[in-house]
Amino acid sequence: MGQATALTRNETGIETVCGILKQQFGDRFQTGAAICEQHGHTTTWLRTQAPDGVVFPADTAEVSDIVRICAAHRVPVIPYGTGTSLEGHVNAPAGGISVDMSAMNRILAVHAEDLDVVVQPGVTREQLNTHLRDSGLFFPIDPGANASLGGMTATRASGTNAVRYGTMKDNVMALEVVMADGSVIRTAQRARKSSAGYDLTRLMVGSEGTLGLVTEITLRLQGIPESIRAAQCSFPSIDAACQTVMAVIQYGIPVARIELLDALQVKAVNAYSKLSLPETPLLLLEFHGSEASTTEQADAFGEIAAEHGGSAYEAVATLEARNALWQARHDAYWATLQLRPGAKGISTDVCVPISRLAEAVTRATARLDDLGFIAPVVGHVGDGNFHCLLLVDVEARDEVEKANEFVGWLADMAIEMEGTCTGEHGIGQGKMAYLGRELGAATDVMRAIKVALDPQDIMNPGKITLR
């Protein structure tokens, strides 16, 4: 987890920049303690490191101006979407300016015939899907939070639909980015594929604001399927549920969602969302396609589940019930926090090759039991990705230490299984210690790119540990 980074504050620069921004942006530049605190990282147990000021640009030209001003005085620039990242991405360890994109929330163009849309970074995923509702199209990527699309781009987010529709890497077609010198680039055109030079789109997706600030995003859209079926299925053990998932993926059933909740997570969700799901390991599924295809998929799933001791496949009949179920799934994080009021949540995020899924989840839960943590498990298991949410009293040093040890142990296990320490949350501050263990010399190449594109280290410094 969070390593101490020896970043120093450039007090003179910060003071100068705050003066210029105040003059230039008036009320759209704020330095009050409350707003600055709120723009530091507040979601998890990581310590808040507030910026010195928060600016609300209205367009790309203003973002470019802000970056030029900060660059001239070597002051950090930290992009801010909705503040829902879990790894300290919006913290300001050396102070600096938080660039809040909430006013850049326009949907610039819906190209229904090309199945794409152009948005500003402050648009949230729910806002986009509400806007698209009548077009017959939707944007599939859904992290738990109603995150901004800029933030989702920056962290290479995914969520429950990724098993079928991919992650942000697969759904961002092009970006407009303000670079560290204030210059504005466009990474690609709107063609569905291209071989024109380096893939700057994918380089920027997941770069966590450390290479540039995303100011416009072209996203791929999907047609709303003719038929959507949801299902729930209970299992006698985590292993049985995971074996079922592995078989579903290996048989190539194109599930749109296949989510695991362990018994404790189901209990938390029942309490928080007022549901009455059976409190044993549970898979929640969704099938997309034609009527015939979703029936076929559901039947094939039912057969596999039965072979592994799953309960009878239970269809979720109404749209209302389906929405309630997925809302409950998305609220799992908040539901979990209710299990131990006052505790902070530390979410792990490992992702392993699907063949290692059952072993990984089983070993993780066994160790959590041994250590005595209250820590439900939930996962986008079709991708091999699962989260243990450890509830920790962050004032109790031994508990924090034990949690740290577990997170490290789990990351090492995932890496040893040829998996990753982070499937979708990103590195930020929280996972810096594991990037080198996972990718070794490749981090030198990342560092060289960082130095080349941000020689002053002003773009979200102290994240991904590249300097």
Site for a copy of itself in 346-405 (CB under 8 A): 349, 351-355, 383-385
Could you tell me which stretch among 74-82, 262-270, 275-283, 420-428 binds a copy of itself (CB under 8 A)?
A: 420-428
Could you tell me which stretch among 1-9, 31-39, 109-117, 319-327 binds a copy of itself (CB under 8 A)?
A: 109-117
Residue 137 is classified by DSSP as: E
Residue 54 or 110: the one with the smaller Cβ distance to a copy of itself is 110
Residue 52 or 65: the one with the smaller Cβ distance to a copy of itself is 65
Out of 92, 141, 179, 346, name the contact with a copy of itself by CB under 8 A: 179
**What angle, 0 to 180 degrees and rounded to 10, lies between the N-to-C axes of helices 11-25 and 60-72?**
150
Residue 100 or 438: the one with the smaller Cβ distance to a copy of itself is 438
Could you tell me which stretch among 110-118, 309-317, 329-337, 394-402 binds a copy of itself (CB under 8 A)?
A: 110-118
Min dist CB 219 to a copy of itself, Å, is: 14
Which residue blocks in 59-113 are alpha helix, DSSP H?
Answer: 60-72
Tokens of 390: 């450890």
Cβ atoms of residues 220 and 115 within 8 Å: yes
For the segment 430-449, give every residue that binds a copy of itself (CB under 8 A).
431, 434-435, 438-446, 448-449
Min dist CB 53 to a copy of itself, Å, is: 28
Q: Under 8 Å CB-to-CB from 195, ≥6 apart: which residues?
A: none
Which residues of 155-275 form beta strands (DSSP E)? 172-179, 184-186, 212-220, 222-223, 227-234, 257-261
Q: Under 8 Å CB-to-CB from 202, ≥6 apart: which residues?
A: 169
**200 makes contact with a copy of itself (CB under 8 A):** yes
Min dist CB 246 to a copy of itself, Å, is: 7
Rg (CA), the chain: 22
Could you tell me which stretch among 53-61, 67-75, 112-120, 303-311 binds a copy of itself (CB under 8 A)?
A: 112-120
**CB-CB neighbours of 91 under 10 Å:** 27
Cβ atoms of residues 175 and 153 within 8 Å: yes
Residue 252 or 341: the one with the smaller Cβ distance to a copy of itself is 252
Residue 28 or 164: the one with the smaller Cβ distance to a copy of itself is 164
Residue 115 or 371: the one with the smaller Cβ distance to a copy of itself is 115
Min dist CB 195 to a copy of itself, Å, is: 4
The pair phi, psi for residue 384, each rounded to 5°, is 80, 15
For the segment 244-283, give every residue that binds a copy of itself (CB under 8 A).
246, 249-252
Out of 30, 161, 187, 265, name the contact with a copy of itself by CB under 8 A: 187
Min dist CB 16 to a copy of itself, Å, is: 27
Residue 353 is classified by DSSP as: -
Min dist CB 261 to a copy of itself, Å, is: 20
**CB-CB neighbours of 353 under 10 Å:** 12
Tokens of 53: 């000021």
Helix, strand, coil abundance in the chain, percent, nearest 5: 40, 20, 40
Cβ atoms of residues 94 and 7 within 8 Å: yes
Which residue blocks in 223-354 are alpha helix, DSSP H?
Answer: 238-250, 263-273, 291-307, 319-330, 332-337
In whole angstroms, give the CA distance from residue 365 to residue 370.
9
Residue 146 or 194: the one with the smaller Cβ distance to a copy of itself is 194
Residue 328 or 466: the one with the smaller Cβ distance to a copy of itself is 466
For the segment 278-317, give every residue that binds a copy of itself (CB under 8 A).
289-290, 292-293, 296
For the segment 130-169, give every residue that binds a copy of itself (CB under 8 A).
155-158, 162, 166-167, 169
